[in-house]
Amino acid sequence: MRNDDMLMHVRGASLFVDDIPTPAGCLHAVLFTSPVARGRIRSLDVSKAAAAAGVVAVYTHRDVPGLNQVGHILKDQPLLAVDAVEYIGQPIALVVAETQRAALRAVRLIEADIERLEAVFDPREAASRGMLHGKKRVLVNGDPEAAFARCKHVVQGRLSSGPQEHFYFETQRALAMPSEHGTMKVYASAQAPGAFHHHIAEVLGIPMHKVELDIRRLGGGFGGKESTAVWVVAPAMAAFLLQRPVKLVLRRNEDIATTGKRHAYEYDYKIGLDEQGRIEAFEVVLYQHAGACADISPAVLGRAFLHVSGSYRIPNIRVTGLNCRTNIPPNNAFRGFGVPQGTFVIEAAMVRVAELMGMGVTALKRKNLLQDGDTLPYGMKLERVNASRCWEKLDQQVDLAQREAAIEEYNRTHSDTKRGMAVVPVCFGISFAQTALNQASSLVNIYVDGSVSVSTGAVEMGQGVNTKIQLIAAKTLGIGAQRVRVDSTNTSRIPNASPTSASTGADMNGMATKTACEALYGRLRRFAAQHLGQADPEAISIREEGVYVGETRADLTWEKLVAAAQWARVDLSEHAFYATPDLHYDLGTERGRPFAYYSYGTSFTEVLLDCVRGTYTIESIDVVHDVGKTLCEAVDRGQIEGAVVQGVGWATLEQIRYGSDGRVLTGANAYKIPDIQYCPNRFEVTLLPDSNNPYAVCNSKAIGEPPFIHGLGAYFAVLHALRSVRADKEPPSLPVTPEKTFMYLHEPVSERP
């Protein structure tokens, strides 16, 4: 299968927002943002900026024509600050000029007198002060207290995981163009067409039918373009007020400094096992570093909250989740959406309790893997569990016992270098945890020449969702994929679309497309039966671009069939809607069925640690992952490889530094993401064979996010190597950077990393 998008990417022919020819008279917008983490705005003087050369207008909150609000879940985030600021980088004013350079110069002329107020940057401190977004969530299953009392082995600990910068190739940007009758068309790099469409209309104070949001593709998103609408709404507001096209494009360091990240977490945990090594009880408190506004943090916390049991049976559990309100830019979605953070804590707890027991952690994990019939902490009974199948397949390929023995022997005979390994199982629930978002639409048009266009709410951001939808449409209609074009995501064709996230893009939009194509297929089959004089439409099939009666190919090609159907006034257009069935969740009881199915996998990671320098290399990664029946093997393999590498980056390299005043200190020159040189020499991906999934389109499984969890193996493999040198210190926080490994190896025990 040829991927047309990939071919255009390598040729530099793909069109992104900044490639759209700038309309005549287009202006450029730049935001003036808060220089302090928390403060009261005593005065704001924009007169010098407004009078600067090339400046057309400077807007503050007083100029917002509609609702001055872009809060995604809670209405707590003004587009432009009113009388207070809550984080460095919060928008206060919008400068619009003839050129971006003129706007940037003018921004420096704005004078803001802001009284500095005490700010909070630590999530634990925020929690102690009651600074939360929404309410504390608590899930209890079984009787954890009684279970801990009878446990043979109990371990308690504290952990932390750090933030991660999305570092998409295409920074935040949008181009807004006013049109007749007070309408507005916006080209944006955004993952949530329905939500952003609504935000634009609200801020402009106009009905949604006067706003058209068009998204061809993104130069990467990873969740960073799902919720924060500031950079799309601001140029739309300026274009609406000035009745001229306006473009806003963030520079790279500006993007890093002002946008949200993967949520950092602090954890308190306690785990208890019986004498045989079975998990009896687990207790964990999640302190989510949410930032100044709720943004999408409550939903991310919900995902972490529901995945703290990882891939293991845990009959007695207590989970507490806290959205901690701090004075940094509001954090947002990132690939995995809280699941990596939730999985990290149970994996770390398993490592520590295995040490206490003197038992190999690999054997301990295998003993506690989920099986068919197990019930998750929120009451969902599992079926079609492939956790053990993935584990056994990996074991067949790698021989875990042999690898473990070889590493132990290596570490016994080497002092300057040590090896480490980790086996990480994955259990990842697929669906939006917010049930209402599990819906999608598709519009399929067959043209008289036999070509087909498909419009859905899915946003292509390099994950191959358009390729999968193209293949689904072609397969369902019985034609070649080259006849199908997946159009841009447009709110005038597909309204109220859910975000392309939670690994549901192909699942839901693909199912809607399949439903629409099945309706067209049935319609054309009935017409073909009539056209060929056949009494039974069931005898007719369309495949390989021909019409068959039974197994005999008729003298009627796809093109002839479509042309004849059009001439006979057969409707060649179909809209279909899909809502994922049987989903429900009660936040009051923390019980329900929030996910349609689960994605499973197991990975083996091996590292080599230099005990003198603290550096390490990732020697090998082997992954077995369950994708159901793959829709496109090339896309699925690429998604697994990319997700694993991105997960490895979060676990080992990627570190954001904040100053004592809450300022992001890390720029593009200091932020390290894994490159091809960092990837292991051995990187093997196996798609679990003979897997079926009746809960998703064409028996497939979602693939965008679940493999990210395998990246945790790099952290735990490095930790394994470190513990073989010294086990007298608390494990380092995630990411386990080379600097941290060096300090772990060489600092006195009294110094915690």
Distance between CA atoms of 206 and 196, rounded to whole angstroms? 14
Residues 6+ apart with CB under 8 A from 719: 351, 420, 422, 731, 732, 736
Distance between CA atoms of 28 and 245, rounded to whole angstroms? 9
Amino acid 130 reads G
Distance between CA atoms of 183 and 206, rounded to whole angstroms? 9
Distance between CA atoms of 661 and 644, rounded to whole angstroms? 34
Q: Is 705 known to be catalytic?
A: yes
Alpha carbon distances (Å) from 16 to 187, 189, 504, 519: 9, 8, 23, 33
Do residues 102 and 54 make contact, with C-beta atoms less than 8 angstroms apart?
Answer: yes
Coil, helix or strand at residue 514: helix
Name the percent of the chain in helix, strand, coil, to the closest 5.
35, 25, 40
- Beta strands 211-215 and 417-430 are unpaired
Vertex 314 angle, CA 310 and 320, to 5°: 75
Tokens representing 195?
């939500």
Do residues 359 and 277 make contact, with C-beta atoms less than 8 angstroms apart?
Answer: yes
- Does an H or E element contain 609, and which? strand 597-610
- Active-site choice (170, 705, 730, 747): 705
Coil, helix or strand at residue 47: helix
Rg of the chain over Cα atoms, rounded to whole angstroms, equals 27
Distance between CA atoms of 438 and 440, rounded to whole angstroms? 7
| Strand partners of residue 446 | 452
Residues 6+ apart with CB under 8 A from 230: 31, 70, 79, 91
- Establish whether the linkage from the previous residue to 735 is cis, with ω within 30° of 0: yes
Distance between CA atoms of 117 and 431, rounded to whole angstroms? 41
Coil, helix or strand at residue 449: coil
Residues carrying an active site annotation: 705
